[in-house]
Amino acid sequence: MPSTLPPVRGVALDDAVAQVLGPDATLREAQRDALAGLADHDTLLVARTGAGKSAVYAIATLVARRLTLVVSPLVALQRDQAQSLREVGLRAATVSSAVSTARQKQALDDAAARRLDVLLLAPEQLQRTVVLDALRVADVGLVVVDEAHCVSEWGHDFRPDYLHVGSAVRALGRPRVLAMTATASAHARDEVVERLGLDRPRVLVHDADRPNIWLGAHPTATEGDQDARVVEEVLATEGAAIVYARTRARTEEVAALLDRGGRPALVYHAGLPAKERARVQDAFLHGRHDTVVATSAFGMGVDRADVRLVVHVGPPPSLDAYYQEVGRAGRDGEPARAVVVHRPADTALNRYLRSGGGPRPATLQTVLVSLADGPLDRAALVDRSGLGARTVARALAELQQVGAVRDDDGRWAGTDEVTGREALAAVRAARERRAALDESRVELVRTYTDTTDCRRRLLLELLGEHHPDPCGRCDSCDRGTSTPVQDAAARPGQPVRHEQFGDGTVSVVEADRLTVLFDEHGYVTLDAAVALDSALLTPR
């Protein structure tokens, strides 16, 4: 492939490819597409696990020879990424709570002095004044947002600093941005682009299908039936298995049942000490243990090739999250299984777990009042408001979204665009829209678990692909209940308008149903014949 990224104090593209991938390696399609436009455009790369996304920024760094920042969600993931980068000859360091203050300072000094190629850090670290000040004088050429779906999945509540990465990029002079994830629906892609403030982005979506993973769902009536089926699935599996449960208590319960069944299982969740989480992850990653029961906190950075089973004790809150977790199976290309064991009560639990309320109106008002006398950086705003740092981060993200505050090079100020009362009303309206979307995403998961049609089609069309034929690798296809969709009047990704729900985009096409993502109402499943024949749903 000819070089499309002219070297800047670096090496030729072909030489960089050879250094990162090996002397006889060639770029994969996803890698080639991302590199081809990265010199001129911000890029969102959606490519399945195993597509070699991390090699893209390693190659780009060698070619440009400017500092690359990698925003990565987990300390363990940062550690493994840094080690992999060093193995191909790049100077890499991390800034995280897992390293001493002295080592953090040394890493920042090295970055500023151009003695570093790649610096890995969490979004929270990127908001620290001392970090930003050091990076302002560094030659930052590329900001990589790894696991970019976290911007959409985690940013609104769990990790609010993901919503401020775009502000940090602006404070650093708008270096090029590369956002990467294995799976993202059309809505998640739009949110990542908006929240990161990507400039004229190229959105590259490559084949997400993992045909070696058989997909299935098994309904149960009671928790006891559910537990028995999960244990049965794991005991019948030869090789490594990951069991996902929705709560910390359930991970402990299911692990105990597996222990009694003769298959000892490790437990992983955010309530465990950091050293124990690291021990569990390393034991599983390096093959010293084959079974782990975990919450969704486990998985990113666990690149074990021979996982033969991923089983969910109840479905996750969204199909985006489900396919991310399913993708941890069968990375060696050999046959693997992904099974959801569900019961009716799971839907209510998912609704509850997604129902984050955000900062209270009084908290938002406190932030606005604290900014009334002039701009403040985050640390000063925390001191003046008396609020916690995470609470301030969440409040600023919501207020910025509705135009009530702005970030001027790391200093926050109010705006004249909206009054305090208007800002609170706008935040409330935005929360209501998000609540409707979250509710619809829970219902879409139920559609997946309850369908008798091809499960893979539903998953992949949500991710923007067109799959009219049954996959032949799911339980519906095994039973013969999957139906081909030929000559459909609507296609995934098609803009439409509904008389009641307004503008939307077709997400999933089944033989008798359409699932449409509406701007104001989230995902809605419609009877295809009624919606199209009566012209309730029309192209736009």
What is the 3 state secondary structure string of 64-88?
HCCEEEEECCCHHHHHHHHHHHHHC
Averaged pLDDT for residues 429-443: 82
Which carries the bigger pLDDT value, residue 430 or residue 77? 430
pLDDT of residue 73: 80
Q: Which amino acid is at 201?
A: P
Average pLDDT, the chain: 87
Neighbouring C-alpha atoms within 13 Å toward the C-beta of 536: 12
Strand partners, 140: 67
Averaged pLDDT for residues 2-11: 45
Lowest mean pLDDT among 2-16, 86-100, 106-120: 2-16
Averaged pLDDT for residues 228-246: 96
352 band by pLDDT with thresholds 50, 70 and 90: low
For the segment 334-349, what is each residue's pLDDT rounded down to a tens digit?
Answer: 999 999 999 988 777 6
pLDDT of residue 4: 39
Residue 286 has pLDDT above 70, yes or no: yes
Residue 118 has pLDDT above 80, yes or no: yes
For the segment 360-400, what is each residue's pLDDT rounded down to a tens digit?
Answer: 889 999 999 999 888 888 889 999 999 998 888 889 888 98
Averaged pLDDT for residues 150-164: 73
236 band by pLDDT with thresholds 50, 70 and 90: very high
Neighbouring C-alpha atoms within 13 Å toward the C-beta of 230: 34
Quote the tokens at residue 450: 């309850």
Which carries the bigger pLDDT value, residue 224 or residue 508? 224
pTM of this structure: 0.81
For the segment 465-505, what is each residue's pLDDT rounded down to a tens digit?
Answer: 778 889 999 999 999 999 887 666 777 778 888 988 888 88
For the segment 32-81, what is each residue's pLDDT rounded down to a tens digit?
Answer: 999 998 988 999 999 877 778 889 999 999 999 999 999 988 777 788 88
pLDDT of residue 312: 97
Burial status of residue 372 (CB atoms within 10 A of its CB: 0-12, 13-18, 19 or more): exposed
Burial status of residue 247 (CB atoms within 10 A of its CB: 0-12, 13-18, 19 or more): middle
Strand partners, 352: none
Quote the tokens at residue 87: 């193995």
How far from chain centre, in Å, is Cα 183?
7
Residue 196 has pLDDT above 70, yes or no: yes
217 band by pLDDT with thresholds 50, 70 and 90: very high
Domains of the chain, start order: 13-205 (3.40.50.300), 213-353 (3.40.50.300), 361-429 (1.10.10.10), 455-539 (no CATH)
Residue 2 has pLDDT above 50, yes or no: no
Residue given tokens 């699935």 in the structure block: 233
Residue 5 has pLDDT above 50, yes or no: no
**Buried b or exposed e, range 290-318, using 16+ CB within 10 angstroms:** bbbbbbbbbbbbbbbeebbbbbbbbbbbb
Closest CA relative to residue 126, chosen from 116, 136, 112:
136
